[in-house]
A and B are shown apart, each in its own frame.
Chain A
Amino acid sequence: MKLSALHQSYINRRTNSFRSSGPLDSSSDSAIKSPAAIFWLVFHALCCLISLLLGYRFSRLVFFFLFSTSSTNFYTSPFRSTAELVKTLDVHSVLSNNPVANLDLPLLNKTVTNSRVVVGRHGIRIRPWPHPDPVEVMKAHRIIEIVQKEQRSQFGIKNPRTVIVVTPTYVRTFQALHLTGVMHSLMLVPYDLVWIVVEAGGVSNETASLIAKSGLKTIHVGFNQRMPNSWEERHKLESKMRLRALRIIREKKLDGIVMFADDSNMHSMELFDEIQNVKWFGAVSVGILTHSVNTDEMADRKKDEEENPRMPVQGPACNASNMLAGWHTFNTLPFAGKSAVYIDDRATVLPRKLEWSGFVLNSRLLWKDSSDKPKWIKDIDMLNGDIESPLGLVNDPSVVEPLGNCGRQVLLWWLRVEARADSKFPPKWIIDPPLEITVPSKRTPWPDAPPELPANEKPAMGMQDPIVKHSTKRTSRSKHRSKRKHEPKTDTQVSTRHSEQS
């Protein structure tokens, strides 16, 4: 029906023209003979001339008025008129039963002067402001939420368990970037959540203010060592921090599923649905995104991939009967010697053999005296030294449950990107006090100038001093503000800033 309508209309026009020519043939013979028909022909020509001048089908309207009855049966009257119209050589049209309104409606609804718009029983009703009503939009979103909640309760996980997320972090330039990403992912999780944030270098206001924005239940713990500058050391410290978090879980006897969300990872929402399926100890596949910086390497890498395609996925590997058969790890050989050592190296950062974030465990495994704990889990307090990955917690690696369709689904991605060690950023990423420096908008493509970091003393400062003076001059001549067409925005900016300060 959707496609056929277009074709049908096409056929309409074609077949109608054929059929109307039929009666035309029969009527034209008689037309030539009778003077009345000649009169109608002349009248029709006159109407055509008038419509040329006026711009719409005057002739058709006249015939409609002449031949239609004033009956209110809205099926018969338009169609009788069309029968007449067909005979008078016009192609058919359908008009509504209210001829006066018909004249008005097309002019109202269509700005085009051609009033041949075919309107129906009601015309095209358009409300006075045909744009979304915010109240209705909010109501609709609430309905969508309710429907999705119902769907989840019917088809999704029954009895979802609390998700306990462990994140090691420390204050640095990109912390806000990474942590906000993780935070937003966690805010979308439809299950109960506890977020344990372990911070190297002690609890800081930076991190606290960031995670307070989430509205989630958080446990913010400080770790008394500062984060070192090399990747090796950093990985070791992060493992220690995670173990600290696991000890907290054990102390507080938190019940749920423990997952490790590193602050620079990217998580998909399906991950949180999938980990609900874990019984004791599970593993998911992690996609490894190693960014390469050197473009000279590209040619070498292409050859490499043809010979031996690298699988940038870390996780469980299954055999044909969907049982755990081994592990996929990241092939670090091509990067040997070329990987980053220090955090702000431009070289590729390599992941560990198996990342912590690819493992999930039932928090009951960590409890001290849990009767139904399986035998293969080691006690955290009995660990001598640190463990590189959660596999160090199990005696027998074959008990690990592969999740995500036996490791075939990549549910999260690992990436390590950090800014230079000497890069500075405003604390809490708030510029306070506001900047006084503005750049005139004439030369820049944006009407507002991008704010410059007060810490970054650029040589362009020298150029900016006259501008500063210029701006102070401008405010005193505020009367002339309106005359300047190009710089009203910067004017108001400067004036408000000055007013704030004073």
Chain B
Amino acid sequence: MPVSSSPPPILDSSLCRLLFLGSRDSSTMRKCLWLWGLLFIALGFAWSITAERNPRTERISGSAGDVLEDDPVGRLKVYVYELPSKYNKKILQKDPRCLSHMFAAEIFMHRFLLSSPVRTLNPEEADWFYTPIYATCDLTPTGLPLPFKSPRMVRSAIQLISSSWPYWNRTEGADHFFVVPHDFGACFHYQEEKAIERGILPILRRATLVQTFGQRNHVCLNEGSITIPPYAPPQKMQARQIPPDTPRSIFVYFRGLFYDVNNDPEETSLTPLMSGSGARAAVWENFKSNPLFDISTEHPTTYYEDMQRAIFCLCPLGWAPWSPRLVEAVVFGCIPVIIADDIVLPFADAIPWEEIGVFVAEEDVPKLDKILTSIPPHVILRKQRLLANPSMKRAMLFPQPTLPGDAFHQILNGLARKLPHPKSVYLKPGEKILNWTAGPITDLKPW
């Protein structure tokens, strides 16, 4: 660069003087020029890097997208009660199958919290209290959890913590949270009518429930509950990835039961699955002969691979409105078609399900093909791009060891968003709100 002793006339303006940091000396001007040049180059790099990331995945802009990547560390403190191992470890030892079924979130949440930076050993400074009870680990020989003893187990645990620590009585559980991933959450039953009859366990009515069940205007969903996805084994799903350039050739995919084929001797006809709706049966009856709909009751070994080759994956409600299909669809990039009226989907305040999935009313099932083909292609491509976002997939999984942005962190984020606790939850001394003797008599038996 030629060095001139006197500054050229263009630099006489005040703006240029500002640019060169008030100096008129040629050597410092040169340095300033280099500095500005470097700054522009750096900005250019940063812009190009972010621009390159866009075509394949899309970040949800706005509050929802940012919330997914929030870090809960520093925003809340959780105290984990030390319960005797008969509530957790011994149950797991009796039946290690609990680690791999879809209700395993309660066990992994406990393990995560024990080694997480949000854990505090000083209960005085804790914002939330966690009680590690594995209530969904009483399995039948075929692997289904029986919820009949769970209310008693929870009652006995709460009796223990309320007598050994003062924090339960302080708020009657309003700053405590429990993980209840069973079919209907804290109603502790797998049949809907029975669950509704029981309602949420009376002593848990003030606590925050972290559950998989979510349906609006339903007895078993408390205001302020955190809905989580069911547990799906992350390693198994990672292992079954197929190359992303495999063309998606299946239009709609579904595997599961449509009718409830039971062995009641009186029943001669098939009853549609789900005591509350015939949505699955309607799907079968309307689309069983449609080549675009790959639906069947078979359980193929290539289930995960098939999902990666499908564009839409049906998630109709069955016994309960939620199902692990939603998690599998999100992880494998298949657009979920949710056929469940009034369902509350996991992390609904962090994940914009409307933009990712397709919602179909149960009564519109006969028109499902028309609904799906009338979605404009650019919308479908956008949904696929949103699903391809790795933070979305991670938010649905419970990986071990934990990763930033996974479901554990989303739960903590949800708990952090409920802070600070309103002053009204703190009870005055001697005040009692919960009725400890409410509920069926069988529940009051000691465990």
Contacts and interface: CB of A to CB of B under 8 A. Distances in A.
Given A2-B256, A136-B369, A136-B373, A144 B311 contact: yes
Interface in A62-88: 75, 78-79, 82-83
Contacts of A125: 278, 282, 286, 363, 365-366
Chain A residues touching B, majority SS: helix
A147 B384 contact: yes
B372 A10 contact: no
A103 interface: no
A116 B264 CA distance: 12
Q: Which size class do B's interface residues fall under?
A: 35 or more
Given A7-B144, A82-B193, A144-B251, A121 B277 contact: yes
Contact of B272 (A118, A144, A146): A118
Contact of B292 (A114, A116, A123, A140): A140
Contacts of A53: none
Contacts of B272: 117-120, 124
B92 interface: no
Nearest to B265: A13
A18 to B, nearest CB: 11
B361 to A, nearest CB: 9
Interface string B296-340: 000100000000000100000011100111000000000000000
Contacts of B55: 154
B267 interface: yes
A83 B191 CA distance: 13
Contacts of A127: 286, 366-367
A9 interface: yes
A275 to B, nearest CB: 16
A48 B384 CA distance: 57
A75 B187 CA distance: 15
Interface stretch (B242-250, B345-353, B397-405): B242-250
Contacts of B245: 151-152, 155-156
Interface in A416-475: none
Interface residues of A, number: 56
A133 B276 contact: no
A119 B373 contact: no
A119 B278 contact: yes
Contacts of B324: 1
Contacts of A378: none
A312 B8 CA distance: 79
Interface in B129-184: 140, 142-144, 146
Nearest to B263: A10
B257 A139 contact: no
Contact of B142 (A7, A83, A139, A143): A7
A217 interface: no
A122 B56 contact: no
B45 to A, nearest CB: 22
B263 A154 contact: no
B251 A140 contact: yes
Contacts of A92: 193
Contacts of A155: 243-245
Interface string A156-194: 100000000000000000000000000000000000000
B285 A118 contact: no
Contacts of A152: 245, 247
A112 B269 contact: yes
Contact of A150 (B140, B375, B381): B381
B278 A132 contact: no
Contacts of B260: 5-6, 9, 118
Interface in B351-393: 362-363, 365-367, 369-370, 372-375, 377, 380-381, 384
A130 interface: yes
B407 interface: no
B118 interface: no
B262 interface: yes
Given A2-B257, A122-B363, A140-B373, A130 B285 contact: yes
Contacts of A140: 251, 292, 369, 372-373
A148 B299 contact: no
A126 interface: yes
B255 interface: yes
B255 A112 contact: no
A112 to B, nearest CB: 5
Interface in B422-447: none
B289 interface: yes
A7 B290 contact: no
A4 interface: yes
A152 B247 CA distance: 8
Contacts of B377: 142-143, 146-147
20 contacts: A1-B102, A1-B320, A6-B260, A6-B262, A7-B143, A11-B144, A13-B264, A75-B196, A91-B264, A91-B266, A112-B268, A117-B272, A118-B272, A119-B278, A127-B286, A139-B374, A140-B372, A142-B377, A151-B245, A151-B248
Sorted from nearest, which 4 A-B pairs have the closest CB atoms? A155-B245, A127-B366, A139-B373, A120-B277
